Structure 1
């Protein structure tokens, strides 16, 4: 039988192990606030803006227009976003946060901060900065642009 590498020798496996734990705990926390991680990502993407066309939001988030439409419908039903028509184009519209959505984003961001603190407090501030820098470098060098929402 040929020798094969151990699972824990693979960086991807280790990243997935950490990512799953961090993501699953965060998903539980935002679920208590009535949203999914994907919905949180859309809310955060809309935060601080005046409204954006769904196609532009899809590009910003690295998602399909269909996925954005589904997320938007769920958030509209929850009263967290608003759809505004474009007077210059009867087919066009913009998405923006509702007042309730604008209040919810800082709460959800606080949960994200707490979640990071829970998992990454074992690293010093310098180590966290270094890890963040390495991950950004991998993202940039690999040309990754899809927002992780699952």
Structure 2
């Protein structure tokens, strides 16, 4: 299995998520919550459909993530300016503050996870993962800083 790309990506993802969840625990967040919060903060809001598409999730788990973040006062649902039927998920000031605090711990988790790679290898890995994750989907490379 050590030559199976799918297995290695899944194992690597699982390890990174566990380390990051441990670092986010003091904030009461998990990786998916942080990802949603970061996405809406970086864009000053988004529809739940946009969030689901970007994160590669079915819409139903996104509803639960948004509900949890809204219950904590970190995001709010607002009328969508371009579609009366849709709601815009936007960060609150507390949400922005939480994202900024939590981002520091996400960075620490990433540094811990990648400690055996040189800075050049880290940059190369990030570049390759961005190309694999986004180019084939026709979305291009994300411009949100890569923390989510």
Give the TM bin, normalised by the shorter chain. 0.7 to 0.9
**CA distance in 2 between partners of 1:19 and 1:87 (Å):** 36
Q: Does the 8 Å contact 2:19/2:113 carry over to 1?
A: no
- 2-structure distance, mates of 1:87, 1:142: 30
| Match status 1:33 vs 2:27 | yes
Helix, strand or coil: the match of 2:2? helix
Normalising by structure 2, we get a TM-score of: 0.77
Stretch of structure 1 that moved more, 25-34 or 94-103: 25-34
Distance 2:81 2:136 in 1: 40
1:110 shift after superposition: 1.1
Asked whether the equivalents of residues 79 and 88 of structure 2 are also in contact (C-alpha less than 8 Å), the reply is: yes
Q: How many residues align?
A: 139
Task: Give the number of the structure whose alpha-carbon radius of gyration is greater.
Answer: 1
- Backbone CA RMSD of aligned residues: 2.6
Gaps of 5+ in 1: 1-6, 146-150
Deviations 1:49-82 (A, max 9, x none): 3332323333333333323222111111111101
Aligned counterpart in structure 1 of residue 95 of structure 2, from 101, 109, 112 = 101
Greater mean alpha carbon deviation, residues 33-42 or residues 63-72: 63-72
Q: Which residue of 2 aligns with 1:80?
A: 74
Rounded to whole Å, the distance in 2 between the matches of 1:73 and 1:66 is 11
SS in 2 for 1:121: coil
Query: Are 2:125 and 1:131 aligned?
Result: yes
| Cα separation, 1, equivalents of 2:71 and 2:81 | 23
- The aligned counterpart of 1:57 is 51
**Following TM superposition, by how much is the alpha carbon of 1:87 offset from its aligned partner in structure 2, in angstroms?**
7.4
Unaligned runs of 5+ in 2: 140-148
The offset of 1:144, in angstroms, is 8.9
Residues of 2 paired with 1:36 and 1:99: CA distance?
A: 20
Compared CA separation, residues 137 and 99, structure 1 to 2 (3 A)? closer
The alignment status of 1:18 with 2:12, answered yes or no, reads: yes
